[in-house]
Structure 1
Amino acid sequence: MLIEIDARGLACPKPVINTKKELDKLENGVIRVTVDNTMAKENIIKLSKSSNCESSVLREEEDLIVVEIIKGENVKIEEGTKVDLDNKCIFISSDKMGQGNDELGEVLIKGYIYTLTETKPYPKHIVFVNSGVKLTTVNEATVENLKILENNGVEILSCGTCLDYYNLKELLQVGTVTNMYNIVEMMNNSLQTISI
C-alpha cells in the first residue's frame, strides 16, 4: 500500500502530525511525504526512526523534497547502545535561570548545566525553547557541557521555530533541531518533566 502526503506550505509541526496520523493507520506499506524545507524533511526522518520504520530521501530540490517511509515486518531496526538514562525530560525555556538579576541568572544556568554533567543518572532528554536555544548555539560554556551530556546518550533538542526567531539555526553547536510535535510527545512519554 502506498500513501502520498503533500505537506508543502504547512507550518511546523503539521507535516509531522499529518505523517504520524497516516503512519498510525498503516500496518504495512509505504508513505511518501512531500515537503518544501529541510527542517520538515529532518523531522519526518526522526519520526520514521522513532516509529521503527525505514526512511530515505527520494528527491531533494530547493522547494521540493520527497521522503519515503517504509513500515512493515521486513524493516531492519538499528540496535543502539543502551545507556543508563533516567526517563525524564528537562525543559529549558530561557538562557537565564530564575527571575531578577539577568547577570546572576546567566551564572545560575551555566552552573545548572555543568552540575547535570556531574549528576547521574542523566536525563533522557533536554529540550530548549524560546531564548533557551541560545544555550545550544552562542553560549560556549553551556555548549561544552551539553556536548558531554550528548556524548553520554542524552538527547539535546532545540526548537526549530525558536532558532529561526533568534536567527540562530546556522549556529547550532550541539544536539539537533526539533518541532513542537516531538516536544509534546517527548514530554508526554517521560516519567517526569522538569521545567527550568
Structure 2
Amino acid sequence: MDKKLDCMGMACPLPVVNAKKAMEAFEEEGILTVCVDNDTAVQNLTRLAKRYDYAVSSEKKSEQEYEVRIEVKPGKKSDEGEKGKCVTSVVIASECMGNGDDTLGKNLIKSFLFALTNVDPLPDYILFYNSGVLLAAEGSPALEDLKNLEKAGVKIMSCGICAGNFNVKEKIAVGIISNMYDIVDTQMHSDRILRP
C-alpha cells in the first residue's frame, strides 16, 4: 500500500497532522510520500516518522518542493518514553516570568532556568512558544543554562511560527525548531507540566 499526500502550501502544523492521520490509516506496510514546500516541514515530518521508528528519507525536488518518504509499518506504536517513567515538561510562553515589571520578569526567568539546571530529576522537555522563543535565541542571557540542560539530556523545542514572528528562526541556538502539533503532543504525554 502506497499513498501520496500533497501538503504544499499548508501552514504548520498541518503537514504533520495530515501525515499522522494518513499513517494511522495504513492497514499494511507501505510508503507514505508527503510533498511539502519548506525544510521545516521536512524536519517535522522526519521527527514524526522517527517517533514511530519508521524509516524516513527526503529529497529536495526544487527550490520550494520537497518529498518526504516514510516507510509505514502498522502496529508500531510511537515511543513516548520509558514505561513507568514520570515525564515532566516545562512550558515557557514568555521571555518574562510573571506580570508587572518586565525587567524583574526577565531576571526571574533567567534565575528560574538557572535553578532548573540544579534540580533532580531534570525535566524531560522545555517547550518555548510566543516570546518564550527569544530565550532560546542567540544573545539570550539564559542560553548557557539552556545549553547545559540540553547537554544533560533535556529536549528543548521552540515553536517555529513563533520564532518566525519574532524574526529569530535563523538565530535559535539551542534545541530544535518544532511545531505546535509536537508541542501539544508532548504536553498531552507529560505526567507533569510546569509553567513558570
With normalisation by structure 1, the TM-score equals 0.91
Separation (CA, whole Å) in 2 of partners of 1:18 and 1:51: 15
Gaps of 5+ in 1: 76-81
Where do 5+ consecutive residues of structure 2 fail to align? 77-81
The amino acid of 2:194's aligned partner reads I
State the alpha-carbon separation in 1 of the partners of residues 122 and 94 from structure 2.
20
Return the letter of the residue paired with 1:150: E
Deviates more, 1:136-145 or 1:4-13: 136-145
Matches within 5 A, 1:60-139: 60-72=61-73, 86-139=86-139
Per-residue deviation at 1:62? 1.1
What SS class does the counterpart of residue 33 from structure 1 fall into? strand
Partner of 1:51: 52
Deviation at 1:60, TM superposition (A): 4.0
Deviation at 1:139, TM superposition (A): 4.1
**AA aligned opposite 1:64:** E
In structure 2, the residue corresponding to 1:134 is in which secondary structure?
A: helix
Q: How many residues align?
A: 188
Task: Give the fraction of aligned pairs with identical amino acids, expressed as a percent.
Answer: 37
In the alignment, structure 1 residue 195 sits paired with structure 2 residue 195: yes
Alignment-derived partner of residue 19 in structure 2? 19
The CA RMSD measured in Å over matched residues stands at 1.8
- Following TM superposition, the consecutive aligned residue runs of length 4 or more in structure 1 with deviations greater than 2 angstroms are 58-61, 138-141
Q: Are the counterparts in 2 of residues 15 and 44 from structure 1 also a CA contact under 8 Å?
A: yes
User: Which residue does the alignment assign to 2:155?
Assistant: 155
Please identify, of 36-45 and 53-62, the stretch whose mean Cα deviation from structure 2 is larger. Answer: 53-62
Cα offset for 1:59? Answer: 3.3
TM-score (norm. length: structure 2): 0.91
Please tell me whether the aligned partners of residues 5 and 34 of structure 1 are also in contact (alpha carbons under 8 angstroms): yes
Matched, 1:30 2:31: yes
Partner of 2:179: 179
Displacement after TM superposition at 1:72 (Å): 2.7
1:87-141: CA deviations, max 9, x gaps?
1111100001011111111110000001111111111110000000000004443
3-state SS of paired residue (2:70):
strand
- Whether contact under 8 Å (1:57, 1:67) holds in the other structure is yes
Contact 1:86 1:124 (C-alpha < 8 Å) held by counterparts: no
Residues 86 and 123 of structure 1 are in contact (CA less than 8 Å); yes or no, is this contact kept in structure 2? Answer: no
> What is the one-letter code of the residue matched to 2:67?
V
